Amino acid sequence: MTETADAPQIFSLDQACQLLPQVKHVTADAVRQAESLAAQLRGLAEDDPDFGPLSAAMREVVDGWADAVQSLGLEAKGPWLVDFDNGEGYYCWCYPEPTVAHYHGYDEGFSGRTRIQ
């Protein structure tokens, strides 16, 4: 991977695949926490006294996950969706996919991704 002070990190496909186990671990932990919170939120009315703190905890989980992903030089594009900049677009991974197997251009989103492996 390459990086300058103002430029994003650039990843080859091999580098993205090598970093993926760490991304999977961070993501799986966040997913477990979010699922637990979602189960507690299910069925609660917005005026329930537990709703606010549980919603805030959910935001903290997702935001913490995004921060962890970004600290690796990656882009969190949505909950559990990670892009690895390759200099021409993105290698794209979404939990719980087994590997980095998709690509999309800078102007395309998740719906425009194509299989690379």
pLDDT digits (tens, 9 = 90+) for 70-106: 999 999 999 999 999 999 999 999 999 999 999 999 9
Model pTM? 0.89
pLDDT (average), residues 19-48: 97
∠16-96-94 over CA atoms, to 5°? 55
Q: 85: domain range?
A: 13-115
What's the structural domain count of the chain?
Answer: 1
Backbone φ and ψ of 75, nearest 5°: -115, 125
- Is residue 54 situated within a structural domain? yes
Q: Which two tokens stand for residue 66?
A: 């995004």
User: If you write DSSP's letter for every residue of 72-116 in order, what string do you get?
Assistant: TT-EEEETTEEEEE-SSSEEEEETT-SS--EEE-TT--GGG-EE-
Q: Is the pLDDT of residue 26 over 90?
A: yes
- Is residue 97 situated within a structural domain? yes
- The pLDDT value given to residue 95: 98
Q: Is the pLDDT of residue 5 over 80?
A: no
Q: In what order do the strands lie in the sheet with 90-94?
A: 75-78, 81-85, 90-94, 102-104, 114-115
- Is residue 36 situated within a structural domain? yes
For residue 115, list its beta bridge partners.
102
